[in-house]
Amino acid sequence: MSNHPDAEVLKKNAAEILAGLKDKTLSARDRIAIPPQEMPAQDPKVRCHNMGEVAVGYSEEQARVEALRCLQCKTAPCVASCPVKINIPGFIVKVAEGRFDEALSIVRQSNLFPAICGRVCPQEVQCQSTCTVGKSLKSLEKAVSIGRLERFVADEERRAGKSDSPVLPPKTGKKVAVVGSGPAGLAAAADLAKAGHAVTVFEGFHKPGGVMIYGIPEFRLPKEIVSREIEALKKLGVTIDLNFLVGRTRALKDLFKKDGFDAIFVGTGAGLPKFMDIPGENMVGVFSANEYLTRSNLMKAYDREHADTPIFHAKRVAVLGGGNVAMDAARTALRMGADKVYVVYRRTEKEMPARVEEVIHAGEEGVEFHFLENAKRILGDEKNRVTGMECLSYTLGEPDASGRRSPVVVEGSEHVLDVDAVIVAIGNESAPLLPQTNPDIAVTRRGNIIVDETGKTSLDNVYAGGDIVLGAATVILAMGEGRRAAASINKLLAGT
Ligand code: FAD
Ligand code: SF4
Ligand code: SF4
């Protein structure tokens, strides 16, 4: 498989396949024999110097060929593996027929933001993990590319310049506050507005979108796509109040007492970075991935000519961690001009929680992986500027509670990695402000808000969902939680 498949060549090949299949009734065997369609992508040597989207997206011809690979399984195991239960065979058959508008309508019944999920969902562990085609070919990689097809139908609408003019429902006279504008908050706001409530989203940052705006980089999820979804939400009548930190700007209970809200949804995410707690972590040149990515994405520090926000320009960068956040930080560091970027991970590639595609893309762009290694301390000069990182080597022992084999230190294996910046990407914890300022809201030991099966917290008329409940999870799970809570709030307010 080429690592930067040319879009025109792939389109031409797909057109030939389509011509060959025209007017043919396809058996399951014929469908399985259709070659999986590769995703066209920017050349790694070029893209590591720009912020443009890496994966270019299917052409119409490729989308139709890929859709023809679907067997339309009666049991549709893929649907059960999608957290929001999209009618996957239903939308894919429409793609195969070239009825893209109808395909998108089917997707939108379950997923409000398909252009986003089609790009960032970890499909290999969700919908595509159970695809019958992948199983028949004994290769997860050869499963029907459900996410890419979902992205395609959403992008088609955008390319055609179409947008829904929503029919606004009659007003209920009820007011709902949504705290946080990440995927959980936005999904909740959409469903609440569609029920006729007056919805205000309060967001602490100066831009809405949560991690989709400040965390996931432009080269994976163009911000224009997220902004478009937010504009659609405003057309539904949702008000977005920015630079408004609930718990500081306004106490949670005052949203009821002073502002007259009838219910509140809390979707404040897991934006509190974890650190390693090792010597040298406070040196100049050590960052949390959150800070590094926020400077680059939200403050547009990568746009050196126009941005006011400074970013540390390092030449040799170590990124600690093996998840999506680590991959994003490493690939951003390359784009910010680093000559060498090392991902230091204490297990092996097999145990990495990052999406497979992101790991492959990072490797193609020149990120070097140091597996079975971890930082012991960070070294610095007399001005406390990072000059290196002392590492230890590891082997894998018995599986831990997560089922992954635990890393075990190799005694005496200390060695130094020559770096001038370290980015810590070992995970995030729940945003602490609301629990701290509302001690009666029940939380777990890790600070995640506890909810019942309807999304309700221990406080009356206060619901919660997304990372603040689940811990650092995924965009689609956060959206699903937002929708569940919105349905419960709609039910609650219908009865009052
Ligand atoms: P968030 O997206 O965190 O949004 C919460 C919002 O609430 C933020 O905007 C925050 O500013 C605001 N807020 C917090 N406290 C307050 C307050 N007191 N008052 C007002 N506003 C407040 N998931 C995937 O599925 N695929 C990926 O590829 C992927 N990559 C990721 C890459 C990175 C770098 C990161 C950090 C995460 C990634 N994730 C990915 C995880 C995913 O982004 C999150 O699971 C998801 O965004 C959680 O949504 P949320 O709405 O719960 O919270
Ligand atoms: Fe199509 Fe795969 Fe789903 Fe079957 S499991 S309906 S082949 S996408
Ligand atoms: Fe797959 Fe995510 Fe789309 Fe569900 S929302 S079908 S898991 S890409």
Residue pair 368/271 in contact (Cβ under 8 Å)? The answer is no
C-alpha span between 440 and 438 (Å, rounded): 6
Q: Is 181 in the pocket of ligand 1 (CB under 6 A)?
A: yes
Percent of the chain residues past pLDDT 90, beyond the cut: 84
pLDDT value, residue 1: 45
> If we measure between CA atoms, which residue out of 119, 123, 34, 32 comes closest to residue 78?
123
Segments of 208-259 assigned E as strands: 239-241
Q: Is 82 in the pocket of ligand 3 (CB under 6 A)?
A: yes
Query: b/e string for 451-472 if b means 16 or more Cβ within 10 A?
Result: beeebbbebebbbbbbbbbbeb
**Confidence at 2, pLDDT banded by 50, 70, 90:** very low
Q: What is the CB < 6 Å shell around ligand 2?
A: 70-73, 76-78, 88-89, 131-133, 144, 146
pLDDT over threshold 60, residue 480 = yes
Q: How far is CA 411 from CA 83, 162, 280, 376, 394, in A?
A: 43, 61, 21, 12, 9
Give nearest CA residue, ligand 3 atom 2: 121
pLDDT value, residue 401: 81
C-alpha span between 212 and 268 (Å, rounded): 13
> If we measure between CA atoms, which residue out of 147, 117, 116, 111 comes closest to residue 129?
147
394-410: pLDDT as tens digits: 999 988 887 888 899 99
Q: What is the CATH number of domain 7-159?
A: 1.10.1060.10
Selected from 3.40.50.720, 3.40.50.1980, 3.50.50.60, 3.40.50.1970, the CATH number assigned to the domain covering 273-428 reads: 3.50.50.60
Sheet containing 340-345: give its strands across: 286-288, 421-424, 316-320, 340-345, 368-371
Share in percent of the chain as helix, strand, coil (round to 5):
40, 15, 45
Residue 23 Cα to ligand 2 midpoint, Å, equals 22
**Confidence at 307, pLDDT banded by 50, 70, 90:** low
- Determine the average pLDDT of the residues in 471-495: 95
Q: Is 111 in the pocket of ligand 3 (CB under 6 A)?
A: yes
Residue 75 Cα to ligand 2 midpoint, Å, equals 9
Q: Can you give the residue ranges of every domain in the chain?
A: 7-159, 175-271+430-494, 273-428
Cβ-count burial of 129 within 10 angstroms (0-12 exposed, 13-18 middle, 19+ buried)? middle
The answer to whether the Cα torsion of 157, 163, 169, 175 is positive or negative is positive
63-120: pLDDT as tens digits: 999 999 999 999 999 999 999 999 999 999 999 999 999 999 999 999 989 999 999 9
pLDDT value, residue 302: 66
Q: Which residues, 6+ apart, have CB-to-CB distance to 191 below 8 Å?
A: 482, 483, 486, 487, 490
Residue 458 Cα to ligand 3 midpoint, Å, equals 31
C-alpha span between 342 and 333 (Å, rounded): 10
pLDDT over threshold 80, residue 62 = yes
What is the number of alpha carbons within 13 Å of residue 89 lying toward its C-beta?
14
Selected from 3.50.50.60, 3.40.1190.20, 3.40.50.1370, 3.40.50.720, the CATH number assigned to the domain covering 175-271+430-494 reads: 3.50.50.60
Residue pair 374/407 in contact (Cβ under 8 Å)? The answer is yes
Q: In which residue are the tokens 């705290």 written?
A: 179
Instruction: Give me 313's structure tokens.
Output: 């320009």
Helix (H) or strand (E) holding 368: strand 368-371
> How many residues comprise the chain?
496
Instruction: Give me 147's structure tokens.
Output: 């996410």
pLDDT value, residue 327: 97
Ligand in nearest proximity to the CA of 147: 3
pLDDT value, residue 303: 67
pLDDT over threshold 80, residue 162 = no
**Confidence at 168, pLDDT banded by 50, 70, 90:** confident
Percent of the chain residues past pLDDT 70, beyond the cut: 96
Mean pLDDT of the chain: 93
pLDDT over threshold 60, residue 450 = yes
- Determine the average pLDDT of the residues in 290-301: 82
175-271+430-494 shares its CATH topology with 273-428 = yes
pLDDT value, residue 160: 81
> If we measure between CA atoms, which residue out of 149, 157, 181, 32 comes closest to residue 82?
149
Q: In which residue are the tokens 């992008």 written?
A: 155
For a pocket test of ligand 3, which of 92, 110, 146 has the largest count of ligand atoms closer than 8 A to its C-beta?
A: 146
Residue 167 Cα to ligand 1 midpoint, Å, equals 29
- Determine the average pLDDT of the residues in 241-245: 97
Residue 10 CA, chain-centre distance (Å), reads 27
Cβ-count burial of 447 within 10 angstroms (0-12 exposed, 13-18 middle, 19+ buried)? middle
302/217: higher pLDDT? 217
3-state SS assignment for residue 7: helix
Residue type, 373: E
Residue pair 465/188 in contact (Cβ under 8 Å)? The answer is yes
333-386: pLDDT as tens digits: 999 989 999 999 999 999 999 988 899 999 999 999 999 999 999 999 999 999
Q: In which residue are the tokens 């029907």 written?
A: 144
148-158: pLDDT as tens digits: 999 999 999 88
pLDDT value, residue 166: 72
Give nearest CA residue, ligand 1 atom 52: 466
Atom of ligand 1 nearest to the CA of 465: 52
Q: Is 204 in the pocket of ligand 1 (CB under 6 A)?
A: yes
The DSSP line for 416-480 is EE--SEEEE-S-EE---HHHHH-TTS-B-TTSPBP--TTSB-SSTTEEE-THHHHSS--HHHHHH
Q: In which residue are the tokens 């912020």 written?
A: 51
